[in-house]
Amino acid sequence: GLREAEVRPFELLGILCEMVDMSHIREVFQQKEQVIEHLNTWLRNDLSCITMACDLVKDQRVKPEKKGEMLSLIKEKVAALENNILKVSQIIQTDLASQASAKYPVECMKYLTYAIDRIEQENLRSVIIEQMTPYFSPLVMAAPTELQSIFDTLMNLLYKDTVENGKIAIKVCANKGKVEFEFANEGFGIPNEHLQFYLNSDELLDSDDFKALRTIKLQIEKWGGELVAKSAVGEGMIFTFNLEAFSENESVT
């Protein structure tokens, strides 16, 4: 082949290839698709509600005060639709792929299910996992990788603490602007003051589990949420935290 000195300017010596990880970009586009699916559901539900309210307003048998309530409901639903359409439009137009650390709408139940599945696959003891979660997964303002880490950390810690044949109970509740999570177990527990130290102190820790717990606490706070932990010897542990919901249309059903 040609030596470098023999090559004229702008002539090729070879081909430079670059490997690009497309997983994050693919995941971002999936998030956008999920947002659009949620918008379709909100549109269907709110338009159905508006249609029913309009029918009641036109019904001569309905009392005036009831019609006033229906008119207020129509205004509320129209405002909610306008707000959701604007939010979804902004998300769709945003280049999320270039914002790896940004928070954006994420279907939380998808990643919670992954964390539960991992524990169930590795379940070498008789631990029962109970869930009280919405049928329709709420969208929370987060990032997939970090949200997965939060669920994995809590599930791992509770699993290790749970007694034989004990339960891990998970509750997810969406309530106007917030999605609330509760993780509790029937476990050995630790003194609550020790847990608060592990969670809130800046001192170095030997335990990887509690290091991870401190990390996810900071991540939740970075997203505008709050992690609260309680424990007692012989009573297990309880972790609760909340995250911003993408839309106030999120509900427990």
- Domain CATH code at residue 134: 3.30.565.10
End residue of a domain, out of 47, 72, 98? 98
Q: Which residue has the higher pLDDT, 253 or 158?
A: 158
**pLDDT number for residue 233:** 96
Q: What is the token pair recorded at 137? A: 């997964």
**pLDDT number for residue 5:** 57
Residue 35 forms part of a structural domain:
yes
End residue of a domain, out of 98, 120, 152? 98
Pair (151, 213) in one structural domain: yes
Cα distances (Å, whole numbers) of residue 48 to 43, 78, 82, 193, 241:
8, 12, 15, 51, 33
Pair (120, 175) in one structural domain: yes
What span, in angstroms and rounded, lies between the C-alpha atoms of 252 and 67?
28
What span, in angstroms and rounded, lies between the C-alpha atoms of 122 and 50?
48
Average pLDDT, the chain: 83
Residue 191 forms part of a structural domain:
yes
Residue 169 forms part of a structural domain:
yes
pLDDT by residue (tens digit) across 58-83?
Answer: 888 888 888 888 888 888 888 888 87
Pair (146, 169) in one structural domain: yes
Pair (170, 87) in one structural domain: no
Nearest to 27 by CA among 152, 177, 154, 146: 146
Residue 58 forms part of a structural domain:
yes
23-27, 36-40, 100-104, 192-196: which is most confident: 192-196
pLDDT band at 252 (very low <50, low <70, confident <90, very high): very low
What span, in angstroms and rounded, lies between the C-alpha atoms of 111 and 157?
17
Residue 3 forms part of a structural domain:
no
Residue 232 forms part of a structural domain:
yes
Lowest mean pLDDT among 157-161, 175-179, 187-191: 175-179
End residue of a domain, out of 78, 98, 118? 98
How many domains does the structure of the chain reveal?
2
Q: Could you tell me which residues are beta bridge partners of residue 238?
A: 184, 230
Q: Please state, for a pLDDT cut of 90, what percent of the chain lies above it.
A: 41
pTM, rounded to two decimals: 0.72
What is the domain extent for residue 179? 104-244
